[in-house]
Amino acid sequence: MTDHALLLVNLGSPASTSVADVRRYLNQFLMDPYVIDLPWPVRRLLVSLILIKRPEQSAHAYASIWWPEGSPLVVLTRRLQEAMKPHWPHGPVEIAMRYGEPALPSVLQRLAAQGVRKVTLAPLYPQFADSTVTTVVELARATIAEQKLGLDLRVLQPFYDQPEYIDALVASARPYLAQDYDHLLLSFHGLPERHLKKLDPTGKHDFQQADCCHDASAQMLAVCYRGQCLRTAQAFAKRMGLPDGKWSVSFQSRLGKAKWIEPYTEARLDELGQAGAKKLLVMCPAFVADCIETLEEIGDRGREQFIEAGGEELVLVPCLNDHPQWVEALTTLCERA
- Half-sphere CA count of 52, side-chain side, radius 13 A: 6
pLDDT tens sequence across 200-225: 888 878 777 777 777 778 888 899 99
Residue 168: φ, ψ to 5°: -65, -40
Could you tell me if 49 and 27 are in contact, meaning their C-beta atoms sit under 8 angstroms apart?
no
R_g over Cα of the chain: 20
Across residues 45-71, what is the average pLDDT?
97
Could you tell me if 160 and 188 are in contact, meaning their C-beta atoms sit under 8 angstroms apart?
no
- Between 2 and 156, the more confident residue is 156
Chain-wide mean pLDDT for the chain?
Answer: 95
Residues annotated in the binding site for Fe(2+), as ranges? Answer: 189, 293
DSSP, collapsed to helix, strand or coil, labels residue 235 as: helix
Angle between helices 163-177 and 324-336 (to 10 degrees): 170
Q: What is the reported pLDDT for 12?
A: 98
Q: How far is it, in rounded angstroms, from Cα 294 to Cα 161?
A: 21
Residues annotated in the binding site, as ranges? Answer: 189, 293
- Maximum C-alpha span of the chain: 60
Could you tell me if 10 and 73 are in contact, meaning their C-beta atoms sit under 8 angstroms apart?
yes
Q: What is the reported pLDDT for 294?
A: 98
Could you tell me if 65 and 301 are in contact, meaning their C-beta atoms sit under 8 angstroms apart?
no
Q: Is the pLDDT of residue 90 over 70?
A: yes
Q: What is the reported pLDDT for 47?
A: 96
**For 115-180, what is the HEC assignment?**
CCCEEEEEECCCCCCHHHHHHHHHHHHHHHHHCCCCCEEEECCCCCCCHHHHHHHHHHHHHHHCCC
Measured CA to CA in angstroms, residue 211 lies from 196, 202, 226, 231, 260 at distances of 15, 17, 10, 9, 17
- Between 214 and 176, the more confident residue is 176
Q: Is the pLDDT of residue 275 over 60?
A: yes
Could you tell me if 94 and 111 are in contact, meaning their C-beta atoms sit under 8 angstroms apart?
yes
Task: With cut-offs at 50, 70 and 90, classify the pLDDT of residue 50.
Answer: very high
Could you tell me if 27 and 48 are in contact, meaning their C-beta atoms sit under 8 angstroms apart?
no
Q: Is the pLDDT of residue 107 over 60?
A: yes
Helix (H) or strand (E) holding 80: helix 72-84
Q: What is the reported pLDDT for 1?
A: 55
Could you tell me if 11 and 73 are in contact, meaning their C-beta atoms sit under 8 angstroms apart?
yes
3-state helix, strand, coil in the chain (%, to 5): 45, 15, 35
Across residues 109-125, what is the average pLDDT?
97
- Sign of the dihedral through C-alpha 96, 97, 103, 109: positive
Burial class (CB in 10 A: 0-12, 13-18, 19+), 141: middle
Q: Is the pLDDT of residue 10 over 80?
A: yes
Range with the poorest average pLDDT among 95-99, 136-140, 141-145, 214-218:
214-218
Q: What is the reported pLDDT for 256?
A: 80
Across residues 255-270, what is the average pLDDT?
92
